[in-house]
Amino acid sequence: MLEIKEQFLADLQNAPSSEAVEQVRIKYLGRKGVITTLAKNTDFSKLSPEEKRTFGAKLNELKNFAEEQLASAKDAASTRNLGAKKSTGLDLTLPGTGRTLGALHPITLIQMELEAIFQGMGFMVIPSPECELEYYNFDAVNTPADHPAREMQDTFWMTNGMLLRTQTSANQCRTMEKYGVPLRAIFPGRCFRNEAVDPSHENTFYQCEGLVIDKNISVANLIAVMKTLLSEIFHRDVVVRLRPGFFPFVEPGFELDVRCLLCDGEGCSTCHGSGWIELIPCGLVHPRVLEYGGIDPNEYSGFAFGAGLTRLAMMKFGIPDIRLLNAGDVRFNEQFPAFVP
Ligand code: DAH
């Protein structure tokens, strides 16, 4: 009987469909089935009454077992059939559709990190308008209409005479007017220039302007803040250099360059082969700008900087082409681990 049971299970396992399971049923439990005829083919006269009783019980047990096994094999086979038949529509055996989680854009990540670093140094984080008056974007930062520096920036003008700000410096005098002195603030935000787009130039990019005004502010304060900023952002030693730079709203003005973190100074397309990236232009606030902001330059001095957020993000995350940032491709965005600084 044990052999029959083993053979039955083996047959059942090899039955792929409902039809095959039915064949197994007929083979074992049909009218001429192996189990059905087991009793008929046994010579009871040779058995003791005790043996007859155990034979009967075992036979019943085997029958019940076979019936149960057949029933569940039939269920399983019909579920499989259902899946196969519906393969043109709903396939229940396929893995579910995963829900994709949103991710923070690398610019957002770097902005959040910068804000946290500066807040740690006691800076206010101030929102500022993208659509600006010509006065704040140019005149109030010492760039009058006939000033040659205006030519440095191709501007998107609006039909109402306003403009899309070309620099976050546009918010310097707004901030001085609103908060007065002493002042320690950053204003991160989007800027626009009518530029031809290439791997390192965009017409839409992000800056983070910083402004500190107090008594006795000097270049030493500026350098200390820049060093703190860069070491915290890159979590590694970065090589920087200060070059004289001209900007109408600072005197003296500097270019703070960082050695290209993508190629380690070897030269690549991001740094235009120079090995250096211009990262943070900065300087001491021009006395005339303080005056525009209603602050007495004889009593107060300050420093300002305009960090390129877009460049910082490219350096930090190793993004080789600026155009990826505005492409709106989620496959790009998803690669940046969301974190809250
Ligand atoms: N606004 C300048 C630009 O967009 C950057 C800049 C330079 C900002 C020097 C500053 C500064 O605050 O001191 O090119």
Per-residue pLDDT of 284-304, as tens digits, reads: 999 999 999 999 999 999 999
Residue 55 is predicted with a pLDDT of 86
248 C-beta closer than 6 A to ligand 1: no
Cα 267 to averaged position of ligand 1 atoms, centre (Å)? 25
pLDDT at 264 over 50: yes
Sheet holding 124-125: strands in order across? 124-125, 183-192, 204-214, 301-308, 276-285, 250-259, 240-244
Per-residue pLDDT of 58-84, as tens digits, reads: 888 989 999 999 988 888 877 776 655
β partners of residue 164: 131
- Asked if residue 227 lies in contact with residue 267, where contact means CB atoms within 8 angstroms, the answer is no
Cα 236 to averaged position of ligand 1 atoms, centre (Å)? 25
203: its two tokens: 């017409």
Residue 49 is predicted with a pLDDT of 86
pLDDT at 128 over 70: yes
280 C-beta closer than 6 A to ligand 1: no
pLDDT at 266 over 90: yes
Q: Read off the amino acid at residue 64.
A: N
CA distances from residue 143 to 81, 146, 148, 205, 283 in whole angstroms, order as listed: 78, 8, 8, 21, 16
282 C-beta closer than 6 A to ligand 1: yes
Per-residue pLDDT of 40-54, as tens digits, reads: 888 778 888 888 888
CA distances from residue 119 to 103, 266, 314, 340 in whole angstroms, order as listed: 24, 35, 23, 14
pLDDT at 281 over 70: yes
283 C-beta closer than 6 A to ligand 1: yes
Atom 9 (ligand 1) nearest CA = 282
216: its two tokens: 């006795």
